[in-house]
Amino acid sequence: MKNIKSIILLILIVVISTSMQAQIDRSIQPKPGPAPEFKIGEYQTFTLKNGLKVIVVENHKVPRISYQLTVDVDPILEKDAIGFVAMTGDLMRSGTSNKSKIEIDEAVDFIGASFSTYQNGMYGLTLTKHKEEFLGLFADVLLNPSFPTEEIEKNKKQTISGLISSKTNPEFIAKRVGQKLRNGNHPYGEIGTEETIENITREHLVNYYESYYKPNTSYLVIVGDIKLKQAKKDAEKYFGTWEKGEVVKHEYQFPNKTVGTRVALIHKENAVQSYIYISYPVNLKVGDKDALPAALANDVLGSGVFSARLISNLREDKGYTYGAYSDLTKDPLVGDFSAYAQVSTDVTDDAVNQFIIEMNRMKNELVDDNTLDLFKTVRTGSVARSLEKPQTIARFAVNTMKYSLPADYYQKYFEAIEAISNTEIQSVSKKYIDPDQAIIVIVGDKEKIAESIKKYSVSGKVELYDMYGNPVKEDVKKSIPEGVTAESVIEKYISAIGGKEHLEKIQDVTMEATTSMQGMEIKQKTYKKAPNKYAMIMSMNGNVMQQQAFNGERGIMKGFGGEKEILGDDLENLKVDATLNAELKFAELGVKLTLESVETIEGKDTYKVKVVNPTGELTYNFYDVESGLLILSKEIIVAPQGEFTQMQSFTDYKEVEGVLYPYTITISGVQNLVLKVDSISINTDLSDDLF
């Protein structure tokens, strides 16, 4: 009996488990259950007597409350002090008439709150239990900022340092230049530079605060663990005394539309990638009839999901980039379309091409129903998910007020998305997605990409800009005249600086020069003695910082890191560089010369001569066609991270004992340095001990 039972049990188990196995057909994608309803949370609003509009979203899940204040005013032109509006915002919490910055920092950090102030607004998050302390600080900062002079100076210094450190950040540069070029004379086109930041004064900040920070143009959004009644009491208590006032309105002309694609290039020497940023202004506001279809059209083109066309083409299909996206930004004054990616240098041309193809496809083809449905679901899904955050509800509330939207605009959002047809998508694409009115800004290596991207420009020209969007003069390629060779260029140079005879009389040269590095004065003394002895001493305040000596065979370098012998290729290069009047002996030294082209450097035609040392070290020298003088030298430095260029330009030639020497040497590459020659003396019978 017992046995039989257990056998039966066993059989049953086997049956059950096999039937369970059989239940799974993995090839069938599971069907969703009935769709849940995503409810848009409630919000409440009230207005204080001084005109401050307050929006409250209650959410008691987590014991914290956030406060966000937005000053809703027109932008202003900042002209020669661009950056002061942002600085006013940044410096709001840097001191009040009651508290120093340090006291504010201490108090905020003590309760673990976060509190930041920025252009036309401020935001803070606090635990419910620290609400009173927090509001005290928040209101003090809003109503009594003191803008201490030393904080302004400090912030200027930091902003400038920040700008300088961003000079090698391609994304930062591309987006700012794009912003400037597309917005033209509109305030949105103003971007700060070291110079405009330097021009900011305390008056700018105080005037801006006093003219524009008023309750009647501001919104306060309170989200979190608080009841409406309490929020009203708090608002009255902390912000009720804020005095209302007249605020000036400004109107600006919409930026001119670009007719035909423009290509703008910011040169980044030897960049391994190009940053492509395609943009133009659009006239699109929250609540416009076109707003939702246009947003959906942009989703299809360039949202972050892998099904979007830019990312699936440029990343998933071609592997050109880690990510390619587009944005369509709505704005009450000037919105913008932008599409961007950071791509490998060698595919820059085709990457631009693919961007244009995808943008045109949006205009020229109907999006098929499956794709459209997919992106509708993506958008509604993403909005639905965002409803978990009470901040979303607050944003809806602000938009409803600010753009006078119908009260049920967001309640009907999902329906409105559902109703969009593919013909509508095409018609808004024609209006808002258009490469023909775009400015294609590229930060990358000019030498490698300029030729290939010309064709995208309607003028056939690539416009060159610096990192601040200022035009850079274009080089025009000219042909080398008949009969001119590298050797003849060098000969002309030799006769221009004084001739072989004068040069050969020189036995030694002593040069003293001065430069400044980060505000400190540095003296440089260089000695050269025939045939190839060389020494250099760099000192600051009489203290030697760096020293180099070469006695014709052995080279030594001394510096912070102690003494080091110069060896290998460095030594071989030094043998050439140390040679007195090396120009006369290029052949003897094994230096190879090639005349490459005629290039315009700072308005002057020059012969570009490629100079290769026996070690393979590469330099390009540029000799003025007219005067014969060397005006620029570009050295290519090969490092494990890639190739980099070091430039020296020579100006201010003066005669010493029949020979011309440049008295100003400007060194540039990743950092700028100007070397001013104080004196040059010749044949002073230098002692061999120096070397």
Partner 1 sequence: MKIRKILLTLLLLASTSVIFAQANKIEFEEYDLDNGLHVILHQDNSFPLVVVTITYHVGSKNEKPERTGFAHFFEHLMFEGSANIPRGEYSKIVDKAGGTLNANTTWDRTFFYEVLSSNQLELGLWLESERMLQLNVDSIGVATQKKVVTEEIKEREDNQPYMSFQREIVKRAFVEHPYQWTVLGKADHIMAATESDYKTFYNDFYVPNNAVITIVGDIDFKEAKKLISKYYADIPASEKEIYRPKQIEPIKHKEVRDTIYDNIQLPAVFQAYHTPKSGTEDYYAVDMLAKLLSGGESSRFYKVLVDEKQLAMQAMSFPFPYEDAGLAFAFALPNMGVELEDLEAAMDLEIERVQNELISDTELQKLKNQYEVNHVNANASLESRAYNLAINYTFHKDANLINTEINKYLEVTKEDIMRVAKEYFRKDNRVVLYYLPKSQQ
- For residue 523, the minimal CB distance to partner 1 (Å) is 17
For partner 1, the closer CB: 4 or 20: 20
DSSP state of 314: I
**Which one among 76, 228, 272, 612 touches partner 1, defined by CB under 8 A?**
272
For partner 1, the binding residues in 413-472 under the rule CB under 8 A are none
Exactly one of 305, 582, 593, 601 binds partner 1 (CB under 8 A); that residue is 305
- Helix or strand or coil: residue 48? coil
Does 306 engage in binding with partner 1 (CB under 8 A)? yes
Judged by beta carbon, residue 143 or residue 540, the one nearer partner 1 is 540
Contacting residue, 52, 378, 629, 680, with partner 1 by CB under 8 A = 378
CB of 129 to partner 1, least distance (A): 8
φ, ψ of residue 243 to 5 degrees: the values are -85, 135
Q: What are phi and psi of 127, to 5 degrees?
A: -70, 150
- Beta carbon nearer to partner 1, 114 or 201: 114
Tell me, letter by letter, the H, E, C secondary structure of 553-621: CCEEEEECCEEEEECHHHHHHHHHHCCCCHHHHHHHHCCEEEEEEEEEECCEEEEEEEEECCCCCEEEE
User: What minimum distance in Å lies between the beta carbon of 244 and partner 1?
Assistant: 31
568, two tokens:
């290998």
Stretch that binds partner 1, among 35-43, 215-223, 259-267, 624-632 (CB under 8 A): 35-43
Per-position b or e across 101-123, b if 16+ CB within 10 A of its CB: beebeebbeebebebebeebbbb
Which residue stretch of 161-169, 479-487, 596-604, 609-617 sits at the interface with partner 1 (rule: CB under 8 A)? 161-169
Which residues have CB under 8 Å from 219's CB, separation 6+?
Answer: 52, 53, 54, 55, 69, 70, 72, 398, 401, 402
* Touching partner 1, residues 508-527 (CB under 8 A): 518-520
Termini Cα distance of the chain: 110
Rounded to the nearest 5°, which phi and psi values hold at 667?
-100, 130
Q: How far is CA 249 from CA 208, 434, 495, in A?
A: 13, 32, 67
Binding positions for partner 1, 631-690, rule CB under 8 A: 637, 639, 641-642, 644, 646, 667-671, 673
Q: Which amino acid is at 430?
A: K
Binding flag, residue 315, partner 1 (CB under 8 A) = yes
Tokens 């990312």, residue? 311
What is the Cα–Cα distance from 94 to 87, expressed in whole angstroms? 11
566 near partner 1 (CB under 8 A): no
State yes or no: residue 298 binds partner 1 (CB under 8 A): no
Q: Which stretch binds partner 1 (CB under 8 A): 177-185, 318-326, 418-426, 615-623?
A: 318-326
Which residues face 660 on adjacent strands? 655
Q: Single out the segment in contact with partner 1 by CB under 8 A; choices: 2-10, 34-42, 197-205, 675-683.
A: 34-42
What is the rounded distance in angstroms from the CA atom of residue 43 to the CA atom of residue 56? 6
Min dist CB 154 to partner 1, Å, is: 6
Q: Report 339-368 residues binding partner 1 (CB under 8 A).
A: 342-344
Q: Are 112 and 129 in contact (CB under 8 A)?
A: no
Residue (129 or 500) nearer to partner 1, CB: 129
Considering only residues 100-139, where is the footprint of partner 1 by CB under 8 A?
101-102, 105-106, 108-113, 125, 127, 130
Is 34 a binder of partner 1 (CB under 8 A)?
A: yes
The binder of partner 1 chosen from 79, 157, 250, 554 (CB under 8 A): 157
Segment interacting with partner 1, rule: CB under 8 A, options 316-324, 430-438, 485-493, 580-588: 316-324
One residue of 79, 144, 207, 381 binding partner 1 per CB under 8 A? 381
291 vs 378 by CB, closer to partner 1: 378
How big is the site for partner 1, counted in residues (CB under 8 A)? 92
Part of the chain binding partner 1 (CB under 8 A), chosen from 183-191, 306-314, 529-537, 657-665: 306-314
Closest CB to partner 1 among residues 467, 580: 467
Alpha-carbon span 414 to 49, nearest angstrom: 36
Bridge partners for 656 per DSSP = 659
From the list 322, 554, 626, 678, which residue makes contact with partner 1 (rule: CB under 8 A)? Answer: 322
For partner 1, the binding residue among 1, 4, 22, 24 (CB under 8 A) is 24
Q: Which of 277, 342, 339, 348 is nearest to 310 (CA)?
A: 339
Contacts of 504 (CB under 8 A, 6+ apart): 581, 584
